[in-house]
């Protein structure tokens, strides 16, 4: 892998964002809306009192972390789709660019935009709703790492799926975070789910983040095994997602489908 090639993909995406303010708005607008919506909702719920721990701390913190992961996934997907919509995707591979360098460039783009969005969410949550993410302590660092790895894995998988099925399959990528939130306990403990659904929760890395957050806020810091299991699962998913995208790329290359991959085929 050559960094200058990776950087060229990243730089192209930055120029696209710079030249299209609407795209910049779409990256951050929903984050801001979600923070205000959930912030006011959690303040309302917290006004009832009697909770075991602060509702703002639990729900708003979970929303911020979940949005961060979702933006990692969607950032990779939308960067790929930009190349498809502009019918520029095939041009990359007429050059010496390798597929892993292309993917690394998309990940780098997503990392930058997602972390900026993350900081914006923290700023709004802190100034308006009095939320301090560091109430969790230094555990926030492995939580962010785990969600970052899994977000990249999801982004690669969804991008590979679109690459295999065609641009019309992009609708699969948008609801994925919302659907997955049902199983990973973003808003409630997974114990609230029926037993047959809890199995799915246990094989999804984000589950171990949100269950751990609730344990910490209850005063239970025995979450080492949760972090290990979550990180191991996240790395496995990342590896499998990369292999999946690579296999789709080789299939499209072998069959010639890559030459026909354009927005007109949706």
Q: Give the list of residues 6+ apart from residue 9 with CB closer than 8 angstroms, or none.
A: 92, 97, 101, 102, 104, 105, 106, 108, 109
CA distance 225 to 196: 23
Range of the domain at 175: 3-265
Structure tokens given for 231: 């990180």
Predicted local distance difference test score (pLDDT) of residue 259: 67
Domains in the chain, number: 1
Q: Give the list of residues 6+ apart from residue 187 with CB closer than 8 angstroms, or none.
A: 59, 62, 181
Report yes or no: 83 and 261 within 8 Å, Cβ to Cβ: no
Predicted local distance difference test score (pLDDT) of residue 145: 93
CA distance 42 to 20: 34
State the pTM of this model.
Answer: 0.88
Helices of type H across the chain = 3-19, 21-46, 55, 61-85, 89-92, 99-129, 140-165, 176-184, 195-202, 206-217, 224-255
Predicted local distance difference test score (pLDDT) of residue 263: 45
Report yes or no: 1 and 98 within 8 Å, Cβ to Cβ: yes
Per-residue pLDDT of the chain (266 residues; tens, 9 = 90+): 788 889 888 988 888 887 777 777 777 787 888 888 888 887 777 676 555 455 666 788 888 899 899 889 988 998 888 888 877 777 787 778 888 999 999 999 999 988 988 898 889 888 888 877 777 777 888 999 999 999 999 999 999 998 888 777 778 878 888 889 889 988 888 988 998 889 899 999 999 999 998 888 777 778 888 899 999 999 999 999 999 999 998 888 888 777 666 544 44
Distance set, CA 95 to CA 16, 80, 81, 229 (Å): 20, 17, 19, 40
Report yes or no: 82 and 167 within 8 Å, Cβ to Cβ: no
Predicted local distance difference test score (pLDDT) of residue 196: 85
């Amino acid at each position: 892998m050559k960094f200058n090639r990776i950087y060229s993909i990243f730089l192209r995406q930055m120029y696209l964002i710079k030249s299209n303010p609407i795209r910049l708005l779409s990256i951050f607008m929903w984050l801001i809306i979600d923070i205000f919506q959930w912030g006011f909702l959690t303040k309302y719920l917290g006004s009832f009192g009697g909770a075991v721990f602060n509702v703002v701390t639990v729900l708003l913190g979970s929303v911020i972390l979940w949005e961060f992961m979702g933006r990692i996934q969607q950032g990779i997907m939308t960067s790929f789709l930009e190349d498809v919509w502009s019918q520029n995707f095939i041009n990359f591979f007429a050059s010496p660019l390798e597929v892993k360098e292309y993917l690394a460039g998309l990940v780098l783009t997503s990392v930058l935009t997602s972390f900026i969005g993350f900081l914006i969410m923290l700023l709004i949550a802190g100034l308006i709703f009095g939320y301090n993410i560091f109430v969790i302590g230094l555990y926030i660092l492995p939580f962010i790492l785990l969600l970052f790895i899994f977000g990249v894995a999801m982004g690669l998988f969804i991008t590979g799926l679109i690459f295999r099925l065609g641009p019309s399959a992009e609708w699969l990528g948008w609801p994925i975070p919302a659907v997955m939130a049902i199983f990973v306990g973003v808003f409630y403990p997974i114990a609230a789910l029926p037993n047959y659904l809890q199995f799915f929760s246990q094989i999804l890395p984000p589950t171990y983040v949100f269950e751990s957050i609730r344990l910490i806020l209850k005063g239970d810091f025995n979450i080492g095994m949760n972090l290990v299991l979550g990180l191991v699962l996240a790395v496995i998913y990342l590896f499998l997602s990369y292999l999946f995208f690579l296999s789709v790329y080789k299939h499209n290359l072998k069959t010639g489908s890559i030459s026909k991959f354009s927005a007109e085929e949706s």
